[in-house]
């Protein structure tokens, strides 16, 4: 049947309008009105990154409210039989020179169905947008333009209006995402700045009306530095910044101390709220502040004869060098959603690995065809979608020659629709995670392990691409008194190298720099040029291989506590070796801090000398006896250091979780307990009250790892009895508890996901439960088969690294450098460029591939 369009002009249009109600009658049972809780995906395709702004627009199913690009809507129609879709299309129109502007037709609908992805650049003086909506009936593609209130049945009209007015399924209401809700100040574009010669020094600020040196705000009109007030900053002040606004009417101020290359905290006195200033760099430059370089000269301009301070931000982002943009397959950038650069850096690196490309992009048709009815909630579908977005080249096209000329001629130009937005992907992979689901900056290493965990749990076929990272670590523990040893193995996915600060090769320079820095701070002068500690890679590798003391070691040979040491070696070498430089530590205020060091990471790495050797001739093994569980005859409340509990509770953790952390770490202080919290915060009983054997409770999941397993390595009998009382066989209960480290809830999930009983084999599942914690040590599950390990040579070549800028994992910015087609490329959010000076010595996580023998 030929395609028919039910719109036009004159008599035909009138006839078509009269038939609309009859036309839609067969489809009325499939058209739904979105209810509270329904997610309407009207800004992005579930299988691609097509949007209403794409050439083919976006089709929203009027039953499931899923969005589909032109290439994928037919698949959904064939799979579900759903015929009615709303087609959304955004048109970008160049304004006529000299036009005064005005309301656009359908602008009401435009602001509704594209309220999430509206590009600020489209609201400039040269371009505007017009949005179009219509119903499309498959398979014949009948089109009904909207709005069409008079001709359409009431139910259809209500459903269409509800879809058009629905909000983003990703819009969060929790306070963690307040950054996403900041609005651009109405004063930002037209702000008047007085040319009064004011230049702001990099330090030594003081309120010009009092002696306060904290909570200071720089007025962006006249350069006045004045103190704030508690109600808009959260800290004390005398309110002189507000008084100045009331007197002079200068609306915008920026908080000193918050200025970074990523932006700054801006407050509008007139609008009475924190705001965004898209022109903040220009406004700060007026007073001699360079956001990117973070240093100021006397006249606000750089003196080419003065050697600039080389900051971490400049070096890692290769600032000051003209970088050539890269386009095409594998050179697609990713939009920063607000502190999502950690996710982008990891995914760009992951999808440069052939095994991940084959698993997801190579299997893309099969994954899409077998995806569930809601592909937004399927990990493999979202991974395949993201991999295709990065590798297809479809979203990384160079500008046309005419557009290049236009960009040269115009300061503001029509934006290129290059790059992808990982909004749908981030919403899924972070669901239920207290940190990744927030809008706060995160540790890229922790997200890497979280991603590996998801890959492991959603394997495709018999192999998982994450197999290339997995290796076995042999740990040799020796009792210092009896000299007897124990060898154990665990699974790991990355190598953590300590920073050997004592091995710095420029100690004299560091000492001199620290003296100058303190003198400058005392005299309130600009700090001296930064001197960064230079650490040999060989020293870090040596520190990794040296024995370390085992805290609170219990010797089975002595049946008592004793001194013990542990050394780690590679029982296998992975296909791809991930090396993390442990730059982050905790300060006295419990905030993660970073060691600003330079490590001379090698292009070629040989760690064959770290191959494990196993039990050696002459060594005697420690007896296989677990420490006894001591239950007091006279039960009383456990001894818990309440001061440590309160320290942790003040950091925002649940009180019961803090009590468990202090108890299970033996009252060794808040820092050790903090590490326990980080390692156990995803467990289902994390915030439940502390339960101790002998005090009327059952050992929790956290306690199971601290000696709750019996002497015969069997799960606690009370847990076995509890599961068997539910009707399960005893051997199934034991197998499930062993496979889940004696976690009752996980054991029940394991039983339901393994309906086929294994009568003879008690081997654990291949799937490793990768705990997303700072140590990243995943215990190999007991069994004859064990985890899937790919062993080989320990010779590697560097092909990528992720770098972090900033003082801690809680702030800053991530970029990645990858070696492709023989040259280095920098991936900095949406910007993908050929790298001229890759900062290999300043990386945080390094990726090596095995050199074939």
Please check whether residue 792 is in contact with residue 853, taking contact to mean a CB–CB distance below 8 angstroms: yes
Does the global pTM surpass 0.85?
A: no
The least confident of 125-139, 148-162, 398-412, 471-485 is 398-412
210 marked among binding-site residues: yes
| Helix 730-739, helix 744-753: angle, nearest 10 | 110
533-584, pLDDT tens digit by residue?
999 999 999 999 999 998 878 888 888 888 999 999 999 999 999 999 999 8
The domain ranges of the chain are 20-96+110-165, 180-298, 329-398+418-468, 471-573, 642-680
Report, as an integer, the average pLDDT of 80-100: 79
Catalytic choice (72, 187, 450, 813): 813
- pLDDT band per the 50, 70, 90 thresholds, residue 708: very low
Predicted confidence (pLDDT) per residue in 804-828, tens digit: 998 777 778 999 999 999 999 999 9
Cβ(653)–Cβ(684) below 8 Å:
no
792 vs 777, higher pLDDT = 792
Q: Sorting pLDDT into bands at 50, 70 and 90, what band is 667?
A: confident
Average pLDDT, integer, range 355-359: 94
List the CATH code of the domain at 642-680: 1.10.8.10
Check if 540 is active-site: no
Residue 695, pLDDT above cutoff 60: no
Class of domain 180-298 (CATH, top level): alpha beta
Q: What is the mean pLDDT of residues 362-369?
A: 90
What is the rounded CA–CA span in Å between residue 445 and residue 451?
Answer: 10
Give per-residue pLDDT as tens, 162-208.
Answer: 999 888 887 653 434 333 456 789 999 999 999 998 988 876 788 88
User: Is 244 known to sit in a ligand binding site?
Assistant: no
pLDDT the model gives residue 304: 35
Query: Contact 219/250 with Cβ under 8 angstroms?
Result: yes
Mean pLDDT of the chain: 78
The pLDDT score that the predictor gives to residue 761 is 36
The domain made up of 329-398+418-468 is a member of CATH 3.90.70.10: yes
Spatial strand order in the sheet of 142-146: 67-68, 58-61, 84-94, 127-137, 142-146
Q: Once rounded to an integer, what is the mean pLDDT over residues 233-258?
A: 82
Provide the angle, in degrees to the nearest 10, between the axes of the packed helices 642-649 and 655-664.
130
Give tens-digit pLDDT for 451-469.
998 998 888 877 789 999 9
For domain 20-96+110-165, say whether CATH 3.30.40.10 is its number.
yes
Average pLDDT over residues 316-329: 90
Active-site residue, from 83, 341, 540, 658: 341
Amino acid 703: pLDDT:
34
List pLDDT tens digits, range 464-503: 899 999 999 999 999 999 999 999 998 899 999 999 999 9
Most confident of the ranges 7-16, 34-43, 63-72, 180-189: 63-72
pLDDT of 177 = 38
Active site residue 804: no
Which whole number is the average pLDDT over 95-121?
45
Please say if the pLDDT value at position 591 is more than 60: no
| Domains 180-298 and 642-680 belong to one CATH topology | no
Q: In the predicted model, what is the mean pLDDT of residues 675-695?
A: 72
Structure-block tokens of residue 67? 């969005």
Strands (DSSP E) contained in 62-107 are 67-68, 84-94
Pair of tokens at residue 756: 């086929």
Residues 6+ apart with CB under 8 A from 707: 626, 627, 629
Give the pLDDT band of residue 774 (cuts 50, 70, 90): very low
pLDDT top residue among 293 and 43: 43
Rg (C-alpha) for the chain, rounded Å, is 31
**Spatial CA neighbour of 420 closest among 20, 7, 49:** 49
Q: Do the Cβ atoms of 569 and 476 come closer than 8 Å? A: yes
Note the pLDDT tens digit of each residue in 401-451.
555 545 544 444 444 458 999 999 999 998 878 778 877 888 899 999 999
Please tell me the predicted confidence (pLDDT) of residue 386: 96
């Amino acid at each position: 049947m030929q395609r028919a369009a039910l719109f036009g002009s004159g008599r035909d249009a009138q006839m078509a309008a009269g038939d609309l109600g009859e036309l839609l009658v067969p489809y009325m049972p499939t058209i739904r009105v979105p209810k509270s809780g329904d997610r309407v995906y009207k800004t992005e395709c579930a299988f691609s990154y097509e949007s209403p702004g794409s050439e083919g627009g976006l089709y929203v199913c009027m039953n499931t409210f899923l969005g589909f690009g032109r290439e994928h809507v037919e698949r959904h129609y064939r799979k579900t039989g759903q015929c009615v879709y709303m087609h959304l299309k955004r048109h970008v129109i160049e304004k006529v020179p000299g036009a005064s502007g005005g309301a656009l037709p359908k602008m009401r609908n435009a602001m509704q169905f594209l309220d999430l992805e509206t590009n600020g650049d489209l609201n400039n003086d040269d371009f505007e947008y017009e949005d179009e909506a219509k119903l499309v009936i498959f398979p014949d593609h009948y089109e009904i333009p909207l709005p069409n209130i008079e001709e359409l049945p009431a139910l259809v009209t209500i459903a269409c209006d509800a879809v058009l007015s629905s909000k983003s399924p990703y819009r969060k209401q929790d306070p963690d995402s307040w950054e996403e809700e900041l609005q651009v100040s109405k004063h930002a574009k037209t702000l008047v700045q007085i040319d009064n010669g004011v230049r702001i020094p990099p330090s030594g600020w003081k309120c010009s009306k009092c002696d306060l040196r904290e909570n200071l705000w720089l007025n962006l009109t006249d350069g006045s530095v004045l103190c704030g007030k508690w109600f808009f900053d959260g800290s004390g002040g005398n309110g002189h910044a507000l008084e100045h606004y009331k007197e002079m009417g200068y609306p915008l101020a920026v908080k000193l101390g918050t200025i970074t290359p990523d932006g700054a905290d801006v407050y509008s006195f007139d609008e009475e709220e924190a705001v965004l200033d898209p022109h903040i760099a220009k406004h700060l430059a007026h007073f001699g502040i360079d956001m990117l370089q973070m240093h100021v000269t006397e006249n606000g301009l750089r003196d080419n004869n003065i050697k600039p301070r080389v900051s971490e931000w400049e070096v890692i982002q290769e600032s000051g060098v003209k970088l050539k943009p890269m386009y095409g397959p594998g050179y697609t950038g990713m939009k920063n959603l607000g502190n999502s650069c950690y996710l982008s850096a990891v995914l760009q690196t992951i999808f440069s690995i052939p095994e991940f490309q084959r698993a997801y992009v190579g299997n893309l048709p099969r994954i899409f065809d077998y995806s569930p009815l809601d592909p937004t909630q399927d990990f493999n579908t979202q991974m395949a979608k993201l991999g295709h977005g990065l590798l297809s080249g479809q979203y990384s096209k160079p500008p046309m020659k005419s557009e290049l000329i236009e960009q040269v001629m115009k300061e503001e130009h029509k934006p290129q629709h290059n790059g992808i937005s990982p909004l749908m992907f981030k919403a899924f992979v972070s669901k239920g995670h207290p940190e990744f689901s927030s809008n706060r900056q995160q540790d890229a290493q922790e997200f890497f392990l979280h991603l590996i965990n998801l890959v492991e749990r959603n394997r495709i076929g018999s192999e998982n691409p994450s197999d290339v990272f997995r290796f076995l670590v042999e740990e040799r523990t020796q009792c210092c008194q009896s000299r007897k040893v124990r060898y154990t193995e665990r699974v790991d996915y990355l190598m953590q190298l300590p920073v050997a600060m004592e091995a710095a090769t420029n100690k004299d320079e560091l000492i001199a720099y620290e003296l100058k820095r303190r003198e400058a701070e005392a005299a309130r002068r600009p700090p001296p040029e930064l001197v960064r500690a230079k650490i040999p890679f060989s020293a870090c590798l040596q520190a990794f291989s040296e024995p370390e003391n085992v805290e609170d070691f219990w010797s089975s040979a002595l049946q008592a506590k004793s001194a013990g040491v542990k050394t780690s070696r590679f029982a296998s070498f992975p296909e791809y070796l991930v090396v993390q430089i442990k730059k982050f530590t905790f300060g006295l205020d419990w905030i993660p801090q970073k060691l600003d060091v330079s490590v001379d990471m090698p292009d070629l790495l040989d760690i064959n000398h770290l191959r494990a050797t196993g039990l050696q001739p002459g060594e005697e093994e420690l007896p296989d006896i677990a420490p006894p569980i001591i239950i007091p005859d006279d039960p009383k409340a456990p001894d818990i250091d309440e001061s440590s509990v309160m320290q942790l509770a003040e950091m925002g953790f649940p009180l019961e979780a803090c009590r468990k952390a202090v108890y299970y770490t033996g009252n060794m202080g808040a820092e050790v307990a903090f590490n326990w919290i980080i390692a156990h915060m995803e467990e289902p009983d994390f915030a439940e009250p502390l339960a101790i054997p002998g005090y009327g409770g059952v050992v929790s999941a956290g306690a199971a790892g601290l000696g709750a397993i019996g002497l015969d390595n069997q799960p606690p009998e009370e847990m076995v009895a509890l599961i068997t009382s539910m009707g399960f066989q005893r051997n199934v209960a034991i197998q499930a508890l062993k496979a889940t480290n004696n976690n009752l809830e996980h054991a029940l999930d394991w039983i339901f996901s393994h309906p086929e009983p294994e009568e003879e084999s008690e081997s654990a599942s291949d799937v490793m439960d990768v705990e997303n914690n700072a140590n990243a040590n995943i215990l190999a599950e007991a069994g004859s088969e064990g985890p899937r390990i790919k062993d080989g040579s320990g010779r590697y070549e560097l092909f990528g690294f992720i770098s972090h800028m900033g003082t801690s994992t809680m702030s800053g910015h991530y970029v990645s450098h990858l070696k492709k087609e023989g040259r280095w490329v920098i991936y900095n959010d949406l910007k993908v460029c050929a790298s001229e000076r890759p900062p290999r010595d300043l990386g945080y996580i390094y990726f090596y591939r095995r050199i074939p023998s």
